[in-house]
Structure 1
Amino acid sequence: MNQKAQLRQPNLFNEIIKGLFANKFIAFLLVLIFFSSLVLVQITHLTRQQLIEQDKLLQQRDELDLEWRYLIVEEEFYSQHARIEEVAISQLDMKRPTSKDEQVVVLP
């Protein structure tokens, strides 16, 4: 008796599957929707990865820009005439020539 009761009660999942795949067009649309949802998830994931990479590159650009500005300031400091003259006098023992030390060369 128990088997007869089970046979009379339809299995809901099987009935839904039979109904969906009864028409090939509906089955095709179901597969297409499933596939497009997977593609959407993949594209969203890749987009988020690209945004994270872009943020890292922008941060790196800002750090390099700041370093470049410091190098420009340092270059200006070392290229000042007074600084060059100070290094020439203190480290290289150079001095300005006097008029007695100058020699004029006349070319024929």
Structure 2
Amino acid sequence: MSKSQLNLTRIIVLDLWHHKWMLLLGLVVLANAVLVVQTTYASRQYTSQWDQLLQQRDRLDIEWRNLLLEEQSQSEHSRVTRIATKELNMSRPLPNEEVVVRVQ
């Protein structure tokens, strides 16, 4: 390096040292900007995850309701069968006792 380049480097370093508070504030502002970007990204990720969880909850709720309806319909059939068997002494006919009625 030549002597003029060394002098220029020295002048730049001294000037930066003279304005060290401005340099420090600039670095703090830059770090703050990076943190804002990271926080915004994380917030969007959490919001997306929250939406997916809400959709999953809705799907599970619909499935639960369908299962309750199915259980209710199954229990009604068994209740009818039980009442017919016990209270009315009814039974399912044997295959040779079945009669087919044709409607014309």
TM-score bucket (shorter structure): 0.5 to 0.7
Structure-1 residue corresponding to 2:42: 46
Decide whether aligned partners of structure 1 residues 46 and 97 sit closer, same or farther in structure 2, where only a CA change above 3 A counts.
Answer: same
Decide whether aligned partners of structure 1 residues 20 and 37 sit closer, same or farther in structure 2, where only a CA change above 3 A counts.
Answer: farther
Aligned-partner residue type, residue 73 of structure 1: L
Residue in structure 2 matching 1:57, options 53, 56, 66: 53
For structure 2, the residue ranges without an aligned partner over 5 or more in a row are: 1-11, 91-104
Q: TM-score by structure 2 length? A: 0.61
- How many matched pairs? 86
Decide whether aligned partners of structure 1 residues 18 and 44 sit closer, same or farther in structure 2, where only a CA change above 3 A counts.
Answer: farther
Structure-2 residue corresponding to 1:71: 67
Alpha-carbon RMSD across the aligned residues, in angstroms, is 2.9
User: In percent, how many aligned pairs have the same letter?
Assistant: 31
Moved over 6 A (4+): none
Q: TM-score by structure 1 length? A: 0.59
Structure-2 residue corresponding to 1:24: 20
Considering fraction of residues, name the structure with more helix: 2
For structure 1, the residue ranges without an aligned partner over 5 or more in a row are: 1-14, 99-108
Decide whether aligned partners of structure 1 residues 53 and 18 sit closer, same or farther in structure 2, where only a CA change above 3 A counts.
Answer: farther
